[in-house]
Amino acid sequence: MTTHDGDTGTELVRLNENISKIEELSKRLVTALSHYKAVNPALQGPGQDLYMKAAVGYWAEWVQNPTKILEHQVEYWGKSLQHYMEAQQALTQGLTGGTEEVERPKDKRFANPMWQSHPYFNYVKQQYLLNSEAISKAVDDVVDLDDVDRKRLRYFSQQIVDLMAPTNFLATNPDALERAVETEGQSLVDGLENLVRDLEANDGRLLVTLADEKAFEVGGNIATSPGKVVFRNHMFELVQYSPTTDTVHEIPLLIFPPWINRFYILDLKEKNSMIKWAVDQGYTVFVVSWINPDASYRDVKLDDYITDGYLTAINEVRDICNVKQVNAVGYCIAGTTLSLTMALLKKRGETPIKSATLFTTLTDFSDQGEFTVFLGDDFVDGIEEEAMAEGYLNSFFMSRTFSFLRSNDLIYGPAINRYMKGEAPPAFDLLFWNGDSTNLPGAMAIQYLRDLCQKNKFVDGGMEVCGEVLNIKDVTVPICAVACETDHIAAWKASFNGVRKMGSRSKTFILSQSGHIAGIVNPPSKGKYGHYTHSKIAMEPDDWRAEAEFTPGSWWPRWDEWLANRSGKQIPAREEGDSNHPVLADAPGTYVTMQSTG
């Protein structure tokens, strides 16, 4: 009896503590939300014209083909009624199983056995799936939409479907409810605290924390390859990495990472660092670490990235290494801009780049992949208004856009774990990097979206940059392009088509398995993700893929062979910098840790 009283007393103390904590968190929640800055509606969803087109198209199908529409409606009503009756019978009779399952692909959101065994949860799940199917058919029934509008309508409709999943609500999520019971409600208190922290960290805007930020330190336990900053200007820091071999190739390797994220995706850990691996193969490796721009960079364009970024970095590396040429690498948008740079150099009759490697790079934007849904004038007009008002495009919008391309994995799933289950985010270096994004200069962001993504000027008619009209055919440097099979940011077929249109006589195309990051950061030691190669690329992408040879494992050794043949003789390993390039800081430098403003 005494023990029971003691337990009751402990429970009361905990209950009072949690009530007090909830009151405190509620106040913090109100304060955090009061800091919320209204976002331009154009950045929150598609324009009204898309909905109007959809409504008109659906009504037109009603008029032209009412039988098909009625069949779909009757089918949905019939299934829903049957499902309700079966669920009611299961509930009244106390059956342990749910209603009959409709044959569908596995959905990890419904992995909990209660979604099948418990009549209530089974009913909720099955009805959600029926509703999802009905919405999908309704979208397919809309007529007189072009391919882009249909793709956008399907995408945004699916976003609503994903948002309304029963797993996203506490009352219909058995995992969260079980967790609340197990912890006597502590998980809900912890979840509320996690929610408040995320709102406070983003000025009242909700952006789910994906990784434990305290678990990582840039330059501490990630981005640790030894090196020195040997040059710095208003656009970038130039990092030269310390050699690990007695001799190195004469021609240095200069890597341009995308400025949408930090460069250390190529140097997360020693075991998967592409930078360390390249150094170990005997290359003198330089990496550009871009500035994280603020409002003072509002007028910076791609022209400035090329002049004060690419061309400056190339010249500084040539001076340090006392060579006439460098081998260059461009990743994603940095590969696109490297291609523009090579076209500019061709126009000027200059040849400082011996070869170029392009990672997941788009140069032909006629197929924009999954980003098509965000490249209509409704969104781009909103981005332009935001960027011009603030001087830059805040990293928040880029992070949110990338997350919504995989909303169940990068938004709803983490939100459930963090806010409903009260779990701490995982100590996952890749997710930490993913959340460590940067701002984009206002003028550059609009120039990229308008001239490249929307108008595809580099391929169609030429793009004016740095006083020259540049065309993809002006890229004549030997090219090695690496694309990734399941890349949702830079579709491999679009990347392939861009390389085909380049003027280079020497073109090598490698198709890696996996996606935008895992397909590139795939060290040989992992033994994962094979790759496809073919000696010819003068064919359609599907034909190339059908004829290509598959090789298990990483593409890095194949690239090393290609690169070594273009990197000159062996010379004694170089020290970092020289008398004209004194050491300014240890790697990874200072720009890489500059946080976003706003």
d(CA 137, CA 124): 20
The more confidently predicted of residues 44 and 200 is: 200
d(CA 291, CA 233): 9
* Residues catalogued as catalytic: 332
CB proximity list for 383: less than 8 A, separation 6 or greater: 42, 43, 393, 397, 445, 446, 449
Q: Among 21-25, 128-132, 238-242, 284-288, which stretch is predicted with the lowest mean pLDDT?
A: 21-25
pLDDT of residue 481: 98
For the record, the structure tokens of 387 come out as 């960027």
In angstroms and rounded to an integer, the radius of gyration of the C-alpha atoms of the chain is: 27
d(CA 558, CA 569): 19
Q: Among 190-199, 372-381, 476-485, which stretch is predicted with the lowest mean pLDDT?
A: 372-381
pLDDT at 559 over 80: yes
pLDDT of residue 532: 98
pLDDT of residue 598: 47
Q: What pLDDT, in 10s, does the model give residues 157-179?
A: 898 899 999 999 999 999 999 99
Give me the mean pLDDT over the 495-521 stretch.
96
| Residue 204: band (very low, low, confident or very high) from pLDDT cuts 50, 70, 90 | confident
Q: Where are the domains of the chain?
A: 46-168, 227-593
pLDDT of residue 1: 41
pLDDT of residue 64: 61
The more confidently predicted of residues 114 and 36 is: 114
For the record, the structure tokens of 251 come out as 């021609």
pLDDT of residue 376: 86
pLDDT at 328 over 80: yes
pLDDT at 190 over 80: yes
Helices (H), 436-491: 442-447
Other residues' Cβ atoms within 10 Å of the Cβ of residue 406: 13
For residue 584, give the amino acid letter: L
* Among 275, 262, 227, residue whose Cα is nearest residue 593: 262
pLDDT of residue 39: 73
Question: Which class is 227-593 in CATH?
Answer: alpha beta
- Contact between 432 and 216 under an 8 Å Cβ cutoff? The reply is yes
d(CA 335, CA 480): 11
Q: What pLDDT, in 10s, does the model give residues 20-77?
A: 888 888 888 888 888 877 777 766 666 667 556 555 554 555 556 666 555 656 665 6
pLDDT at 294 over 50: yes
- Contact between 95 and 77 under an 8 Å Cβ cutoff? The reply is no
- Contact between 501 and 459 under an 8 Å Cβ cutoff? The reply is yes
Give me the mean pLDDT over the 205-225 stretch.
92
d(CA 157, CA 408): 14
Task: Pick from 50-64, 97-111, 390-404 the range whose average pLDDT is largest.
Answer: 390-404
pLDDT at 335 over 90: yes
* Among 479, 452, 476, residue whose Cα is nearest residue 464: 452
User: pTM score, two decimals?
Assistant: 0.88
User: Which neighbouring-strand residues pair with 529?
Assistant: none
